[in-house]
Each structure stands twice: as C-alpha cells, then as structure tokens.
Structure 1
Amino acid sequence: MSVEQAPIEELGRELGEQIARTPEYDRFEEAREAVQRDEEVQEQIDRFERIREEFMQARRTGDASQSDLQRVQRTQEELHSMPVMREFLDAQDELSERLEAVNQAISDPLAVDFGGEAGGCCQD
C-alpha cells in the first residue's frame, strides 16, 4: 500500500464511522431491529417472499397472469402498510437520501459519480 493510499483509506473509515453516528443511521438501525423483532412483520415478509417466488416461477414457465401479479402487489402493499415496516421503509429512504448527498459531495470534485458509475468502461 502506498503512503498516499493509507490516508485516503483512513478517511474512508472515518467517513463510515461518521455516517454510523448520524441520526438517519440510528433511526434506520432502530427500525431494522424493530422489523427483525416483530413476529407479525416477519410472517408477512415470509408470506410476501413465498408469493413473489411463486409468481417468478410462473413467469419463468410462461404461466403468470395479471391476477398473479396483482396478488404479489397486494401482498407487498399489505406488508408496507404495517406500521413497523412503514417506519423501516421511511428510515431507509431518509438514510439513502443522506448517503446520496455524501456521494454527491465526494463525486463533485472528481467529475464522476463515485457511488454509481466510477469504474466501468465504455458506459453510455
């Protein structure tokens, strides 16, 4: 590791630590833990995943119908309307917005989207 890389990587670690101390991250972690502890939400997640997988299988075999898709959507809406899950999704959105602002602050001086398309070749 070069001498120049070590400070940059250390700054990255410090950035991660600072992000972990934000109110948005705290809210996200608390909401994630609440989802994990809530048996009713976990049952609804399992139900949604099962119905979604059935739909994906039917789609792969060409047997999926509009009714099947609507069932998946209804089940997802039921899951997302649960207060504990709604709080999690709101916290996740808030954290994503904060991380996008951090991404923008890093990307601006580089003239590339650091979190998105930095890296790849020949992108349109």
Structure 2
Amino acid sequence: MSIETTPDARATELAEELGEAITELPAYEAFLEAKAAVTDDEALQQEMEAFERLREEFLMAREAGTATNDDLLELQAAQEELHDKPKMSAYLEAKSDIELRLQELDHIISEPLAVEFGETAGGCCQD
C-alpha cells in the first residue's frame, strides 16, 4: 500500500530540498566564506564597531536637529573607507550576489502564485 503525500507535506518537503540546494550554491558558499573572513578579522570588527558608533551619533544628532552636512560627509567617508577594505568589499559583493540569486528564486516560486512569495513569507504588510 502506498501512502499518498498531502499537498502540505509535499510543499514542506520541497521547501526543505530548496533550502538544502541553496546551501550548495557557489554564491552561498562564497557568502559564508566572505562573512567568516569579516567575522574573524578583529581589526575589521573594531573598525565596524567604530563606524557603527559614528552612525549612531549621527542619527542622534539628526534626530536632535543638530546634524550638519559635514557630519553626513564624515559618515559617508567613514562608510566608504570601511567598504573599501578588501575583506569587507568581498563580503558586500558576496552578499549582493546571494541576495540576487535568492530574489531570482523568489520570482520563480512566485510566478504561479497570486502574491510575491518572499514578501509574504517575510511577514511584511504591503499593498
């Protein structure tokens, strides 16, 4: 006697297979490697923390109405300097690559649906 697979069970099985297949994508593997390189670099982590402090200070100043154009230019320069670091640049490129691939997969999944799969799965309320 064969056991029929329900549509819910089949969808879950396919989702699990898709998740496993994504982990095997070269873009995903490159993303993980680049992320690890950034995470494991103590000096880069310190630079990221310094940038985050600068960003927070700017946001607080902007909220208080005391932020200047020079403050914004300083923040932008600090971000450019951080993004120009080889490991950070490689990470941002790998992140962009995997995000684009996931968007492509989202589009393929969403094609037969009446809604965008990724937006709905993300729980965001959009009209």
- What is the TM-score with the length of structure 1 in the denominator? 0.90
CA distance in 2, matches of 1:84, 1:122: 35
* Identity score, percent: 45
Which of the residues 99, 106, 111 maps onto 2:109? 106
Q: Aligned residue for 2:3?
A: none
- 1:30 pairs with 2:7: no
The residue identity in structure 1 corresponding to 2:56 is E
Shift in CA distance, 120/28, structure 1 to aligned 2, threshold 3 Å: closer
The residue identity in structure 2 corresponding to 1:99 is L
Aligned-residue Cα RMSD (Å) equals 1.9
Alignment of 1:25-104 (within 5 A): 25-104=28-107
How many residues of Structure 1 are paired with residues of Structure 2 in the alignment? 122
Any stretches of 5+ residues in structure 1 without a counterpart? none
- What is the TM-score with the length of structure 2 in the denominator? 0.88
What is the CA distance between 1:39 and its match in structure 2? 1.6
Any stretches of 5+ residues in structure 2 without a counterpart? 1-5
Q: Aligned residue for 1:10?
A: 13
- Stretches of 4+ aligned residues off by more than 6 angstroms: 118-122
